[in-house]
Amino acid sequence: MIELTMKEYNDQKAAFFKKHRDDRGAIESGRTEGETIYKTQSFYDGHHWEEITVPVYETVEIEKHSIKFIMRVKFYRTEFWDSENLNSRYLYEKA
């Protein structure tokens, strides 16, 4: 699994769009019954950029003043790939 920072994600997306002259044809997006969001951006040259964003929950333990707290933290995980690099890459954002 390849995890990226927001800057790396933005850089890769900008480079891909620039390479294809930002010449997008169709943008298809939607939401499933839950919180899952998908987006496909198709370019006139036949290439595409795909994203799926889902909520994920992480349990963390925090200690403050000798008291331990267990919290559930919500993140959004965006999985993305493109027609030139089919390997999934991931971006995590705090909700």
User: Residue 12: which H helix or E strand, with range?
Assistant: helix 6-19
Q: Residue 94: what residue type? A: K
Q: In the predicted model, is pLDDT for residue 50 greater than 90?
A: yes
pLDDT of residue 35: 87
54-92 pLDDT per residue, tens: 999 999 899 999 999 999 999 999 999 999 999 999 999
Contact 64, 53 (CB under 8 A): no
Q: What size, in residues, is the chain? A: 95
pLDDT of residue 21: 86
